[in-house]
Structure 1
Amino acid sequence: MKILKDILYKVRIEAVKGTTDIAVNKIEFDSRKIELNDVFVAIKGTISDGHDYIEKALSQGATAIICEDFPKVIVNGVTYIKVVSSNEALAFIAANYFENPSVKLKLVGITGTNGKTTIASLLFQLFKNAGYKVGLLSTVKIMVNEIEYKATHTTPDSLMINYYLNEMVEIGCEFCFMEVSSHGIHQKRTEGLQFQGGVFTNLSHDHLDYHKTFAEYRDVKKVFFDNLPKAAFAISNVDDKNGAIMFQNTKAKKITYALKSYADYKAQILENQFTGLLLKINNHEVWTKLIGSFNAYNLLAIFATAIELGLEEQEALRLISALESVSGRFQYIVSEQKITAIVDYAHTPDALENVLKTIDDIRTKNEQLITVVGCGGDRDKTKRPIMAQIASELSTKVIFTSDNPRTENPESIIEEMEKGVEPQNFKKTVSIVDRKQAIKTACQLANSNDIILIAGKGHETYQEINGVRHDFDDLKTVVELLEKLNK
């Protein structure tokens, strides 16, 4: 049990009805999870408003209500606290409840459009291989050193973040690497956390269904760096035109990395093959198992972060050379027919273009590059024709298909994609709504030495259709289909 007044530190309170000198059990923002003596935080969400569930929370035993608007009916014996922002309040209360675990770790946040998962996951892998106990909060999974938990969001809610950080502290983790999404920043999920450092990867077209404009999307990312303390470091990719913007108001130590510009950490690609990359990083050559120029940026950010966290250069390079690629990020297999199939999470125009250009840089041009790609439903519609244009321009053949249609008609999504195809590329494209059938068709079209790219879902092992998640794994599917072709 905690005393309510003790977990309200830093919360911006406008008014209180009742006493804060009461013992409380736990904190919840989902009324269905409320138990006796819990604190219910009423959050105004995009779909529902927690204020509508205050009565339900009270009926289940809530003893304190955190809200932005007092309810019409005030119940005796219950404490009501009106706050400026319920999201922000939840973040501070959660941190206080778990006794501020982020202060006891070296917490590094990675933000940007592409590369967050790769950088966070590989930093976790690198520091684990260096002998440390480490935590990871990522899109793919949550790791408390050896213990794995399933991830549901890129940036979990404030309660979950602090719960897992506390678990990391309990078992003696020294570092934690965390993906920080624009949604997470905007919804104040990272408030109340003390970051040792922040990394900016890049910024391109994404989430404009949520943020409405690119400027708003950029400025939300910038808030993360604005809030870093003076003792922290801020690492930014200055080859991206938005890299310098992230530094404008930060108090943290500013560190730059780049492949093309002058920077504190620089890299040069010496060789780029399907077997890996040969890089020169700060005048040291290192061979890595990762592929493509986008991974050269990721590895450079990882190197810079490792050095800023205290590793020696040679040790960091040795560990980088041993890193294994992340699930669903440029994962590839070569079939017995010598067909190369690549599965990648690329679900933004920039990411898709990077992957296709990487493949184009490596291939001989004597083989076909067949791309299978779709766009998610209930998400940013403006990127659909752009992704189709990129895929049809940079591939030999393209199959438009379903991604996660969610509540949208998949045929309508594909029709919106098709609008981006330029006339000279029409003959390259075909549309097959069923994703498995689309992958099967790509396998049937491929000859020896051809390359199949299956983009958009990467590590995901499901397909979401009308609110139901069906088992579907791109890598598993293409392996099975290529094996059948061989028989």
Structure 2
Amino acid sequence: MKTLQQILYKVRLLSVHGNTNMQVNDIQIDSRKVAAGTVFIAIPGVKVDGHNFINKAIELGAVAIICEIIPTEKNDQITYVQVSNAHEAAAHMAHNFYDEPSGKLKLVGVTGTNGKTTIATLLFKLFSSLGYTCGLISTVQNQIANTIIPSTHTTPDAISLNKLLHKMAEEGCTHVFMECSSHAIHQHRITGLQFAGALFSNITHDHLDYHKTFDEYIRVKKAFFDGLGSTAFAISNLDDKRGPVMLQNTLAKKYFYSLKQLAEFKGKILENALTGLVMMINDKEVHFRLIGEFNAYNLLAVYGAAICLGENSEEILRTLSMLTSAEGRFDYIISNNGIIGIVDYAHTPDALENVLLTIKKLRKGYEQVITIVGCGGERDKTKRPIMAQIACELSDKAIFTSDNPRSEDPEEILKDMMAGLNSAARRKTLSIVNRGEAIKAAVSFANKEDIILLAGKGHEKYQILNGIQENFDDKAVLKEMFELLGK
């Protein structure tokens, strides 16, 4: 058990009122989870301010309050610590409280707009196959060896994250692969962690509802690499024009991967088909089960990280050649009469374009491509007409539908998507609010060897309507419609 003074190590303090030599049983940012002997950290959130719950936390047994604003009326029995940034303080305190777990592991972070889940999942599968006990922290799920823990955020809050890393270290994990979202970087959820390495996939139009400007989004991603130590490695995509920018100020050892330029990890696509990719990677020819140019980049990133972690080149490629991607990433099924259904998480303009361009390269020429796509409610509205345009340009038919409208009116979201289309594009589109009905319509239109792309939700098994989460699985509904309509 640690004292408050010990867990405040590295925290930027503004003032201290009371005793810091007390024993601490727990730390929490959620007042509802406070019990006797807990330190409560009052975090000002986007929707809820933890400062409003200080009295409740004290009633439940909090012995110390960490906050940015000291209450005007203080309890003499309670220690109050004023900090400059409560998010940052929570991260350092969690790392200290849980015995600095990241230092006991080889922790590798993956950031970028698209590809994070695939890269982190492939690294987890690769190193598990190589005989290591590994941890995974991702959008799809968290995992300790063979034990799966459901995931609620791409990157958990700082306390949950350090608690999870502590559990991974206790259970013998040697390597942990983690997605690092821009929200997590900006909100200091990963602050204080010791990373063995970090990877950058790409950066495109996303999360501007949160970051407001694209420049700010880039700056936040870059901050992750700026914070790496000199013993870490940093790997970036040289073919993304912001790839070199990410590593400009890092102290880590720099490496790049590329399909188009000279780089430490160089790839070339020899064949791209529904049976997989054939690639040259650093002069070795390998057949992979993954499909598409975007996965060629993901494989290069994984290969580079494995080399930097000290693994044998031939063993890496042999094992990688047998692996499949993360759930809901270019996940395809074929109906009884040969319709190809592809379920993909593509929910940004760039990701949607990549998937549709991959399909274009795979098609023989005469098949229809029918794309079902929506845009999330309470998220970046500026990408809605762009997503619609891409779907129309690269598909024979486009069906716009709901994709987690949340508390927004789904009809209004579809109107936002349609707003950017010219009359020619509008003629090939259909708007169907109900996602199940949209899938049914697409299957009814499809003939043998046509391709249906079901974009946006991927691995998600739910739909959020009017703030209520309901069960909905794209892949399961697609299979059901194939059977129902005798396709």
TM exceeding 0.5: yes
- Which residue matches 1:170? 170
- Aligned partners of 1:152, 1:297: CA distance in 2, in Å? 27
User: Would you say how many aligned residue pairs link Structure 1 and Structure 2?
Assistant: 487
- Aligned partners of 2:37, 2:170: CA distance in 1, in Å? 25
- Which residue matches 2:248? 248
- Aligned partners of 1:485, 1:438: CA distance in 2, in Å? 14
Does the CA-based 8 Å contact 1:114-1:202 persist in structure 2?
yes
Return the letter of the residue paired with 1:163. Answer: K
- Aligned partners of 1:116, 1:25: CA distance in 2, in Å? 35
Question: What SS is found at the alignment partner of 1:244?
Answer: helix
Does the CA-based 8 Å contact 2:102-2:193 persist in structure 1?
yes
Deviation of 1:422 (Å): 2.6
CA offset digits 1:219-275 (Å, max 9, x no partner): 000000000000000000010010011111100000000111221111000000011
- Which residue matches 1:398? 398
Deviation of 1:299 (Å): 0.3
Does the CA-based 8 Å contact 2:121-2:325 persist in structure 1?
no
Is structure 2 residue 185 aligned with structure 1 residue 185?
Answer: yes
- Which residue matches 1:287? 287
Is structure 2 residue 424 aligned with structure 1 residue 424?
Answer: yes
CA offset digits 1:30-58 (Å, max 9, x no partner): 11111111000000000011011101111
- Which residue matches 1:42? 42
- Aligned partners of 2:354, 2:167: CA distance in 1, in Å? 37
- Which residue matches 2:297? 297
Deviation of 1:2 (Å): 2.3
- 1:307-386 mapped onto 2 (5 Å cutoff): 307-386=307-386
Does the CA-based 8 Å contact 1:185-1:224 persist in structure 2?
yes
For structure 2, the 5+ residue unaligned runs are none
- Aligned partners of 2:103, 2:440: CA distance in 1, in Å? 50
Does the CA-based 8 Å contact 1:133-1:175 persist in structure 2?
yes
Does the CA-based 8 Å contact 2:67-2:83 persist in structure 1?
yes
- Which residue matches 2:222? 222
- Which residue matches 1:387? 387
- Which residue matches 2:456? 456
Question: What SS is found at the alignment partner of 1:255?
Answer: strand
- Aligned partners of 2:239, 2:454: CA distance in 1, in Å? 28
- Which residue matches 2:103? 103
Does the CA-based 8 Å contact 1:370-1:397 persist in structure 2?
yes
- 1:429-444 mapped onto 2 (5 Å cutoff): 429-444=429-444
Return the letter of the residue paired with 1:228. Answer: L
- Aligned partners of 2:268, 2:113: CA distance in 1, in Å? 22
Question: What SS is found at the alignment partner of 2:210?
Answer: helix
CA offset digits 1:324-369 (Å, max 9, x no partner): 1210000000011100000000000000000000000010120100
Return the letter of the residue paired with 1:265. Answer: F
Bigger mean CA deviation after superposition, 1-10 or 401-410: 1-10
- Which residue matches 1:199? 199
Is structure 2 residue 35 aligned with structure 1 residue 30?
Answer: no
Q: CA RMSD in A?
A: 0.7
- Which residue matches 1:126? 126
- Aligned partners of 2:160, 2:31: CA distance in 1, in Å? 16
Does the CA-based 8 Å contact 1:67-1:80 persist in structure 2?
yes
Return the letter of the residue paired with 1:400. Answer: F
- Which residue matches 2:159? 159
- Aligned partners of 1:22, 1:116: CA distance in 2, in Å? 41
For structure 1, the 5+ residue unaligned runs are none
Question: What SS is found at the alignment partner of 1:463?
Answer: strand
